[in-house]
A and B are shown apart, each in its own frame.
Chain A
Amino acid sequence: MSTGNMNLTLKVWRQKNNKTKGALVDYKVSDISPDMSFLEMFDVLNEQLINKGEEPIVFDHDCREGICGMCSMFINGRPHGPKDLVTTCQLHMRSFKDGDTIVVEPWRAKAFPVIKDLTVDRTAFDRVIAAGGFISVNTGNAQDANNLPIPKIQADAAFEAAACIGCGACVATCKNASAMLFVSAKVSQLAQLPQGQPERYRRVQSMVAQMDAEGFGNCTNTGACEAECPKGISLENIARMNRDFYSAKFVSEEDI
């Protein structure tokens, strides 16, 4: 069993709710093991706070396997912390050094209001999907799956785009708080599949309209989203989505 010996100073954003102001508060944690995940380190801190009669720090998390997209923290100025291609729950303390000071803040974006401490409201993403991020097919009576062969390369490309976990790091890190990477991932997954064709142009238009209505900013192609995305979603998706979005303007109304 590993016992830890790292001592750290944390500066954590505390905010009671979205009507009050927040501030960074200093905490010390000791005996941290390098095998702990960042969230397990937070569990240790919370246990300390509860024992002292204080309120624990609220943060979102669920699977702790890097797949549900729920965990969301800005760590030393980077979403999900210093390592590439991992979520906060998959970030381990061996990525830090004894004596480090670590600043932890919530996602920052107008479309993601803070709920409490490090927890923000990301339901805007769901509304973007509800606006068109699907294939309109009711249950039952689908044709045999192998009646629709899809070249492996195309299926793999769709899969890569589909790997987005909806965590919102792309929005949080973007200076314009743009949701382009997230939206383009879904648009491009479905646009690359034969099943996605009938609604292809309508889909991109409605999703973009909803994205704008939610208050996400514009994309200025800085690429911070791609750099910080824990799932390596590629900027190519944005290019693909832009192409579809502009093509949609030239597609006749009946085809949309």
Chain B
Amino acid sequence: MSDLNSNIPEGELTTKWTKYKSSVPLVNPSNKRTIEVIIVGSGLAGASAAATLAEMGYKVKCFCFQDSPRRAHSIAAQGGINAAKNYQNDGDSVYRLFYDTIKGGDYRAREANVHRLAEVSANIIDQCVAQGVPLAREYGGLLDNRSFGGTQVQRTFYAAGQTGQQLLLGAYSALERQIGMGKVEMFTRHEMLEVVKIDGKARGIIARNLITGEIERHFGHAVVLGTGGYGNVFYLSTNAMGSNVTAAWKAHKQGAYFANPCYTQIHPTCIPVSGDHQSKLTLMSESLRNDGRIWVPKKKDDLRKASEIPEDERDYYLERRYPAFGNLVPRDVASRAAKERCDAGYGVGASKLAVYLDFKANTERYGRIEAAKAGNHNPDKETCMRLGTEVIKAKYGNLFDMYAQITGENPYETPMRIYPAVHYTMGGLWVDYNLMTNVPGLYCTGEANFSDHGANRLGASALMQGLADGYFVLPYTIGAYLSKEISVKAIPTDHPAFVEAEARAKGILDTLINIKGTKSVDHFHKRLGHIMWEKCGMARNEKGLKEAIEEIRALRAEFWRDVRVPGSVDELNTELEKAGRVADFIELGELMCIDALNRNESCGGHFREEYQTEEGEALRDDEHYAYVAAWEFKEGVNFELHKEELKFENIKVAQRSYK
């Protein structure tokens, strides 16, 4: 069935990567100096790759649209990063991490990639610690771990609620070191607008200097996109405001397949929407579920305050439905369960679209332990709560402060109100085992590619994948390609392919500026987001998806007729930047719905209402849908489906159960 070659090496699963590494062709050091690599993105995936490739001797150019690589969206990740270190001696292993990830992804990820990810996970922690990343430690001086959803071991490394920040600053400092040595040329406030292809291979990009508006041409023997996820297609999401799909989408339009676009992860613990003004949603890290219990009142429309509802009138619905994993079920399961309770009328708060995340039980328990440490074996409740609050503060203080800041409520006193929100996109550019798209020389890493997470990502695995790709995978696999390119001299940027790509990029900018319509870019973005959330969000069905496709097409036509972009193209123009991104989101939105409509099953973050078990769990159809859906862009805005069959040789595919 597959018409795509994933280039998975032959042999035993557990030795594929080791064998690959020791047999892959190398590029000799003097050749590396003449080979140029373009890396778009300076998040965990981009910065780690740029730093490592420069260390290896390649000439690297790195791009980001923020003012500094340190501000890439990875900076916002809160909870942690997984690694199969088994430091806690609780039975963790490479195989277990591999297994949990495949199962968590509802058997829609590629075994070979996931196993490699699990294998290199341990090296990531070593590398980061060597860089001076201050991960949390125990009193004995060793690294601390905590739990995340979808697993029964403690394998998550963290730095308070700022793990992404610390990991990114580690990669950023490695990158800055190379910049300082002149081995990486950094282009901040630059947006990539086109891929340049020569003789079918990616050979450069067109970028816009966001300060001056100038369009620039950049050559590279290979191009790597580490440009992050596209969750902002929903307008409201936990992503940073600038996160967008443009780089991947433009590559898609140049022939790179877009895989599994409909797989969106909805994160169960976000601060609920408070009004129409809202520009983004804020995550409360999943690690909180470690210490929090989730509940709603047993009575419908219960207007009492949380503190006035006695224990036996609370429904701890996750513990009730999933006794084995309880509050630590994976995200897709937890999100759907919250929606189910709210839809059934048990939601809390003014909007009724929220459930409680309550820390009281564990606060008290921690307090008791602290009191015992201090020799008090019979502490009163108040003492327990006071001491326990200190422990909670140390673990999650910044998240609690953020919650208080946004909601005006004190989460140390009353439970948090949380609701699911769009968080992460498992879909992205299709890549083979080498992280190369189907366009030779065009690579894609981190959240921007589709690999490794299947239909649902387990918490703390995105940071792991971003750094695995950038530090440990791409540096090997790109060498395999570049070893055959050593005789290619730098191609001058007056080559017709550059001229043509530049004209394409300019044409779009000029068109946008000249529409001079009546509605702002945000107006269109919000409408798109509304369609996507209502019809391609936490639950989808055939009817809704068909409607959504029609609505999005109409919205696209209206956008190109009536959008208003003030200012000009040759200056810093944030509305113009947004307009280009929203134009791409509109096209992507349509493809997401088409993909969701094609997949007549439920799996992970893709829940088709028509396909569920009697208990309301996702019902997969392995016979017909155990494939990666890779879409090819066609003239106009049309898409053709290609399939990569998924083979499970090492894991027994089973109905996913967390009971």
> Residues 229-244 of chain B: 1 if any A CB is under 8 Å from the residue's CB, otherwise 0?
0000000000011100
Complex CA gap A189/B165 in Å reads 14
Q: Which residues in B have their C-beta under 8 angstroms from that of A131?
A: 180
- Would you call B71 an interface residue if the criterion is a C-beta within 8 Å of the partner chain's C-beta atoms? yes
- Would you call B275 an interface residue if the criterion is a C-beta within 8 Å of the partner chain's C-beta atoms? yes
Q: How far is the CB of B344 from the nearest CB of chain A, in Å?
A: 21
| A143-B126, A193-B134 known; A58+B140 contact, CB < 8 A | no
| A50-B575, A123-B188, A163-B162 known; A195+B275 contact, CB < 8 A | no
Pair A67/B129 contact, Cβ less than 8 Å: no
Pair A2/B275 contact, Cβ less than 8 Å: yes
- Would you call A36 an interface residue if the criterion is a C-beta within 8 Å of the partner chain's C-beta atoms? yes
Pair B277/A135 contact, Cβ less than 8 Å: no
Pair A115/B566 contact, Cβ less than 8 Å: no
Stretch of A97-105, A147-155, A236-244 contacting B (4+ beta carbons < 8 Å): A147-155
Q: How far is the CB of B220 from the nearest CB of chain A, in Å?
A: 20
| A70-B71, A123-B67 known; A137+B134 contact, CB < 8 A | no
| A121-B67, A123-B188 known; A189+B132 contact, CB < 8 A | yes
Complex CA gap A51/B517 in Å reads 10
Pair A35/B275 contact, Cβ less than 8 Å: yes
Q: Which residues in A have their C-beta under 8 angstroms from that of B137?
A: 149-152, 155-156
Q: Which residues in A have their C-beta under 8 angstroms from that of B95?
A: none
> Residues 153-176 of chain A: 1 if any B CB is under 8 Å from the residue's CB, otherwise 0?
001101100110110000000000
Complex CA gap A193/B68 in Å reads 25
| A43-B279, A67-B162 known; A55+B566 contact, CB < 8 A | yes
Q: Which residues in B have their C-beta under 8 angstroms from that of A58?
A: 572, 574
| A1-B276, A35-B275, A130-B179 known; A193+B132 contact, CB < 8 A | yes
Complex CA gap A57/B138 in Å reads 47
Pair A148/B129 contact, Cβ less than 8 Å: yes
Stretch of B170-178, B320-328, B492-500 contacting A (4+ beta carbons < 8 Å): B170-178
Q: Which residues in B have their C-beta under 8 angstroms from that of A55?
A: 566-567
> Residues 56-70 of chain A: 1 if any B CB is under 8 Å from the residue's CB, otherwise 0?
101011111111111
Pair A36/B162 contact, Cβ less than 8 Å: no
Q: How far is the CB of B24 from the nearest CB of chain A, in Å?
A: 14
- Would you call B143 an interface residue if the criterion is a C-beta within 8 Å of the partner chain's C-beta atoms? yes
Q: Which residue of A is nearest B131, CB measured?
A: A135
Q: Which residues in A have their C-beta under 8 angstroms from that of B186?
A: 126
| A40-B279, A62-B240, A62-B241 known; A68+B75 contact, CB < 8 A | yes
Pair B405/A47 contact, Cβ less than 8 Å: no
Complex CA gap A138/B48 in Å reads 11
> Residues 122-139 of chain A: 1 if any B CB is under 8 Å from the residue's CB, otherwise 0?
110110011111111111
Complex CA gap A138/B571 in Å reads 39
Q: Which residues in A have their C-beta under 8 angstroms from that of B411?
A: none
Pair B134/A166 contact, Cβ less than 8 Å: no
Pair B275/A36 contact, Cβ less than 8 Å: yes
- Would you call A146 an interface residue if the criterion is a C-beta within 8 Å of the partner chain's C-beta atoms? yes
Complex CA gap A51/B522 in Å reads 11
Pair B277/A40 contact, Cβ less than 8 Å: yes
| A126-B176, A134-B173 known; A62+B571 contact, CB < 8 A | no
Q: Which of A67, A69, A86, A123 has the most chain B CB atoms closer than 10 A to its own CB?
A: A67
Q: Which residues in B have their C-beta under 8 angstroms from that of A39?
A: 279
Interface residues of B in 186-202 (CB under 8 A from A): 186, 188
- Would you call B169 an interface residue if the criterion is a C-beta within 8 Å of the partner chain's C-beta atoms? yes
Complex CA gap A132/B176 in Å reads 9
| A61-B241, A62-B71, A63-B240 known; A137+B566 contact, CB < 8 A | no
Counting residue pairs across A and B whose Cβ atoms lie within 8 Å, the total is: 232
Pair A195/B172 contact, Cβ less than 8 Å: no
- Would you call B110 an interface residue if the criterion is a C-beta within 8 Å of the partner chain's C-beta atoms? no
Pair A166/B70 contact, Cβ less than 8 Å: yes
| A3-B275, A123-B67, A126-B176 known; A53+B572 contact, CB < 8 A | no
Pair B180/A135 contact, Cβ less than 8 Å: no
Pair A166/B282 contact, Cβ less than 8 Å: no
> Residues 141-181 of chain B: 1 if any A CB is under 8 Å from the residue's CB, otherwise 0?
11100000000000000011010111001001110110110
Pair A1/B55 contact, Cβ less than 8 Å: no
Complex CA gap A135/B172 in Å reads 11
Complex CA gap A152/B139 in Å reads 5
Q: Which residues in A have their C-beta under 8 angstroms from that of B69?
A: 126
Q: Which residues in B have their C-beta under 8 angstroms from that of A136?
A: 177
Q: Which residue of A is nearest B138, CB measured?
A: A152
Q: How far is the CB of B260 from the nearest CB of chain A, in Å?
A: 26
When the two chains form the complex, which single residue of B68, B142, B177, B574 contacts A56, counting CB atoms closer than 8 Å?
B574
- Would you call B274 an interface residue if the criterion is a C-beta within 8 Å of the partner chain's C-beta atoms? yes
Q: How far is the CB of B335 from the nearest CB of chain A, in Å?
A: 20
> Residues 536-547 of chain B: 1 if any A CB is under 8 Å from the residue's CB, otherwise 0?
000000000000
| A1-B351, A139-B52, A163-B162 known; A149+B132 contact, CB < 8 A | no
When the two chains form the complex, which single residue of A4, A65, A134, A149 contacts B142, counting CB atoms closer than 8 Å?
A149
Pair A68/B131 contact, Cβ less than 8 Å: no
Q: Which residues in B have their C-beta under 8 angstroms from that of A56?
A: 566, 574-575
Q: How far is the CB of B273 from the nearest CB of chain A, in Å?
A: 8
Pair B275/A1 contact, Cβ less than 8 Å: yes
When the two chains form the complex, which single residue of A33, A90, A132, A196 contacts B275, counting CB atoms closer than 8 Å?
A33
Q: Which residues in B have their C-beta under 8 angstroms from that of A134?
A: 131-132, 173-174, 176-177
- Would you call A225 an interface residue if the criterion is a C-beta within 8 Å of the partner chain's C-beta atoms? no
- Would you call A181 an interface residue if the criterion is a C-beta within 8 Å of the partner chain's C-beta atoms? no
Q: Which residues in B have their C-beta under 8 angstroms from that of A66?
A: 402, 405
Q: Which residue of A is nearest B239, CB measured?
A: A63
| A130-B177, A130-B179, A149-B141 known; A86+B405 contact, CB < 8 A | yes
Pair A139/B173 contact, Cβ less than 8 Å: no
- Would you call A23 an interface residue if the criterion is a C-beta within 8 Å of the partner chain's C-beta atoms? no
- Would you call B362 an interface residue if the criterion is a C-beta within 8 Å of the partner chain's C-beta atoms? no
Pair A146/B142 contact, Cβ less than 8 Å: yes
- Would you call A17 an interface residue if the criterion is a C-beta within 8 Å of the partner chain's C-beta atoms? yes
Q: How far is the CB of A83 from the nearest CB of chain B, in Å?
A: 8
- Would you call B93 an interface residue if the criterion is a C-beta within 8 Å of the partner chain's C-beta atoms? no
- Would you call B400 an interface residue if the criterion is a C-beta within 8 Å of the partner chain's C-beta atoms? no
- Would you call A144 an interface residue if the criterion is a C-beta within 8 Å of the partner chain's C-beta atoms? yes
Q: Which residues in A have their C-beta under 8 angstroms from that of B66?
A: 62, 68, 70
Binding site for A on B (CB under 8 A): 48, 51-52, 55, 66-71, 73, 75-76, 85, 87, 123, 125-132, 134-143, 159-160, 162, 164-166, 169, 172-174, 176-177, 179-180, 186, 188, 211, 240-242, 274-280, 282-283, 350-351, 401-402, 405-406, 408, 471-472, 475, 520, 522, 564, 566-567, 571-572, 574-575
7 contacts between A and B (CB under 8 A): A33-B277, A67-B75, A92-B405, A126-B68, A138-B55, A139-B127, A145-B135
Binding site for B on A (CB under 8 A): 1-4, 16-17, 33-37, 39-40, 43-44, 47, 49-51, 53-56, 58, 60-70, 85-86, 90, 92, 94, 115-116, 119, 121-123, 125-126, 129-140, 142-146, 148-152, 155-156, 158-159, 162-163, 165-166, 189-190, 193, 195-196
10 smallest beta-carbon distances between A and B, as pairs: A149-B141, A130-B180, A134-B173, A142-B130, A159-B134, A142-B126, A145-B129, A130-B176, A139-B52, A158-B134
